[in-house]
Chains A and B, each alone.
Chain A
Amino acid sequence: MNIIVVGLSHKTAPVEIREKVAFPPTAMGDPLQRMVTLPAVSEAVIVSTCNRVELYAASRQPERAVIELKAFLADFHNLDPAVLDAHLYDLAGVEAIHHVLRVAASLDSMVVGEPQILGQIKTAYGYACEHNTSGAILNRFMHKAFSVAKRVRTETGIASNAVSVSFAAVELARKIFDTLENKTVMLVGAGEMCELAAKHFVNNGVSKVLVTNRTFSRAEKLAAEFDGTAVNFENFREQLHRVDILLSSTGSPDYVLTAKKLKEVCKERRYRPMFLIDIAVPRDIDPAANKIDNIYLYDVDDLQGVVQANLKERQKEAAKAEVIVEEEVRQFQTWLASLEVKPTIVALRRRMDEIRQAELEKTLANLGELKEKERRAIEAMSAAIVNKILHQPTSILKQASNNDDGDSYLDAVRTLFALPVEEDNAGELADE
């Protein structure tokens, strides 16, 4: 049995293509059902996010499955197969396993380490379960992907630093104030980024929001959004002593806040620290303010710099994650290979024979001196019992290899008789 991946992502396809092949979450039943009715496909999961659309399948005929899946994707979305093909990648076997585990661990994401992808894959798997298109192989595989993602998250620092400007601002504020509770944020001017950052601050505990704008009505509107207070732009400087965190993004060509003014404010605040975030270009706050004790001034580039440094840190952690993924790929491949019929039957026979031999020895030892003929009769009987018992299961397993649900029998036999998964032959068997 093989894992197959056919799909495209932000790395291979522009958004114009991605949006065309996306599957709406409200109607996953139809495409999933159509996928499993493809002759070479026995199990199916569809992952569809804004950055990637991927079809996961279990199949005994990987080459055929890839062709069918590509045709299905073009057909389902009414696209020209030739156009779509240029953006598609297809993977089978170990490569496919490797790919999916990396995706789940967020190593293939646009922002490495972003946490959403795992949730999206879980949802995708949920749809497959709901419509009964995931079987023994993909069930095990998807759970493997979830556990690998979790392992990567806990064992590496891949998601430990903020990689968006507004989150970076919140993290910096925490390093200055410890907690954001009882802190006051002031927004000077209204830009989209400013608003987003303010939202993050409010979500992280900031209790008071002041908003000021040259157009007072806009200040009022924005203040209402945050349950805050609008302040007149003419005298917002008089309120500064109350402000712990200031987000500025006015369109003013000159500094809105001078270092001199901030020095006064600082004294008025009895030197309690202030965190100033200047998102405006040209800048709103005199950069010299950063030299004042207890004032921490960050402009857009500074925040970008923090984000870049964090991204670099993530890359380092991602290297550690890759090692974990490799390890898990090998483990899963070993399990998958054990689901081949021949080695399963061999292992089952071996297990039975071991039991027979052990019991035989015990019995013969207890019976004492026996005639050669009697001994042979007992041996023959034990062998016959084992053969009779194994006859039916063996033939069912052989037939099962031709059915889609065969793997669940193989898995069941392995579990019921505690047959060992032998790492040594795994590679060899997988090639058969």
Chain B
Amino acid sequence: MGSLNFLFVATTASYLAASILYLIAMIAKRPQAGRTGRWLLLVGILLQATCFALRHSSTGGTPVTSLHESLAFFAWCLILLFLLLDLRFHLSVMGAFAAPVAFILMIASGLSPNVVIQLSPLLKSWLFPVHIIFAFLGNAAFALSFGAGVMYLVQNRMLKSKRFTGIYQLLPSLDTLDKVNYTCLSVGFPLMTLGIISGAFWANTAWGSYWSWDPKETWALITWFLYAGLLHGRLTVGWRGRTAALFSIIAFMFLLFTFFGVSLLLGGYHTFESFSAV
């Protein structure tokens, strides 16, 4: 476990360092700092990927069963997608959102008990990792669309009120932010859909029914409908800009509740403890 701990700490440290650099880039207007931050994030996800691989080989299972593991995996998905977006849209400022969030997720992960939950044989299936990976990547994409939405609203507010603060120079154009919002949505939605479908199939092999209206399933479905609505609005009605940004922020609130709130407040078989208990 020694090397695992080391990799975990090193990953957290590189996310922290990247966060600081991105914040410096934003506050002190030094874009070079952001470029270094990007490299640190790249190092971070490579370290973390090694961490996952080691964990997989030592436990033999999908390394995303406990809260500890899933928070870390979420951070990884978030940074991976952020780096891909940055490559396409040059969104260095968004690093000041993605990197700190990833860092906080890592800290939260470090604070939650580092246990390896052995899945009961009943739940072991290739569908489980598929379900998890799709769901988490989808969530990460939506988190970034949330970030882009917030940035859009800030930029829009400044352009409308004609009062500009320091961040105005750094924020990308409205057009870029809207495109990012759409890209995240169009990547996140199919991932989420596949996540839900694969989850349903997995449930069928494990419990013998595709859908059992467990609280997490219900809330996930509500969130799915919200994103479906947003996608529909964008494609057919021509929603864009502020409307789309606001919508993606609200939908993300539902997603957060589905991800954290349901597990903590409502229970059901999606809670981490229940995996071994079933």
Q: Which residues of A are interface residues toward B (Cβ below 8 A)?
A: 157, 160-161, 172, 174-179, 270-273, 290, 293-294, 296, 298, 302, 305-306, 309
Complex partner residue of B174 from A161, A176, A290, A309, CB under 8 angstroms: A176
Q: Closest A residue to B172 by CB, please name it.
A: A178
**How far is the CB of B93 from the nearest CB of chain A, in Å?**
13
**How far is the CB of A335 from the nearest CB of chain B, in Å?**
31
**B241 lies within 8 A of A273 (CB):** yes
B155 at interface, CB cutoff 8 A: yes
**A176 lies within 8 A of B175 (CB):** yes
**B242 lies within 8 A of A293 (CB):** yes
**B164 lies within 8 A of A296 (CB):** no
Could you say which residues of chain A place their CB within 8 Å of the CB of B239? 271
**B242 lies within 8 A of A294 (CB):** yes
Having A157-B29, A175-B174, A176-B175, one finds 6 other A-B pairs with CB under 8 Å, namely: A174-B173, A175-B155, A175-B171, A177-B175, A293-B241, A294-B242
Q: Nearest 8 pairs between A and B by C-beta? A: A270-B238, A178-B173, A178-B175, A302-B162, A294-B241, A178-B176, A271-B238, A175-B173
**A306 lies within 8 A of B172 (CB):** no
**A290 lies within 8 A of B173 (CB):** no
**How far is the CB of B119 from the nearest CB of chain A, in Å?**
47
Could you say which residues of chain A place their CB within 8 Å of the CB of B169? 160-161
**A294 lies within 8 A of B240 (CB):** yes
Q: Is the interface of B mostly helix, strand, loop or mixed?
A: helix
**A273 lies within 8 A of B162 (CB):** no
Residues 215-246 (chain B) with a chain A CB within 8 angstroms: 238-243
Complex partner residue of B162 from A157, A178, A293, A298, CB under 8 angstroms: A298
**A172 lies within 8 A of B243 (CB):** no
**How far is the CB of A179 from the nearest CB of chain B, in Å?**
8
B88 at interface, CB cutoff 8 A: no
**How far is the CB of B72 from the nearest CB of chain A, in Å?**
35
**A296 lies within 8 A of B160 (CB):** yes
14 A-B residue pairs with Cβ-Cβ distance under 8 Å, sorted by A, are: A157-B29, A175-B174, A176-B174, A177-B175, A178-B176, A179-B175, A271-B238, A271-B240, A271-B241, A272-B240, A273-B175, A294-B242, A298-B162, A306-B164
Could you say which residues of chain B place their CB within 8 Å of the CB of A305? 162
B207 at interface, CB cutoff 8 A: no
**How far is the CB of A171 from the nearest CB of chain B, in Å?**
10
B168 at interface, CB cutoff 8 A: yes
B122 at interface, CB cutoff 8 A: no
Q: Closest A residue to B155 by CB, please name it.
A: A175
**B168 lies within 8 A of A175 (CB):** yes
**A296 lies within 8 A of B241 (CB):** no
Q: Give complex CA distance A161, B170 in Å.
A: 12
Q: Give complex CA distance A271, B245 in Å.
A: 14
**A293 lies within 8 A of B243 (CB):** yes
**How far is the CB of B118 from the nearest CB of chain A, in Å?**
51
**How far is the CB of B170 from the nearest CB of chain A, in Å?**
11
B187 at interface, CB cutoff 8 A: no
**B29 lies within 8 A of A306 (CB):** no
Q: Give complex CA distance A357, B173 in Å.
A: 69
Could you say which residues of chain A place their CB within 8 Å of the CB of B241? 271, 273, 293-294
Q: Give complex CA distance A235, B238 in Å.
A: 26
Interface string of B169-206 (1 = CB under 8 A from A): 10111111000000000000000000000000000000
Interface string of B236-267 (1 = CB under 8 A from A): 00111111000000000000000000000000
Residues 1-36 (chain B) with a chain A CB within 8 angstroms: 29
**How far is the CB of A317 from the nearest CB of chain B, in Å?**
10
Could you say which residues of chain B place their CB within 8 Å of the CB of A176? 159, 173-175
Q: Give complex CA distance A384, B114 in Å.
A: 84
Could you say which residues of chain B place their CB within 8 Å of the CB of A302? 162
Could you say which residues of chain A place their CB within 8 Å of the CB of B159? 172, 175-176, 296
Residues 132-164 (chain B) with a chain A CB within 8 angstroms: 155, 159-160, 162, 164
Could you say which residues of chain B place their CB within 8 Å of the CB of A273? 174-175, 241
Could you say which residues of chain A place their CB within 8 Å of the CB of B238? 270-271
Q: Give complex CA distance A428, B162 in Å.
A: 54
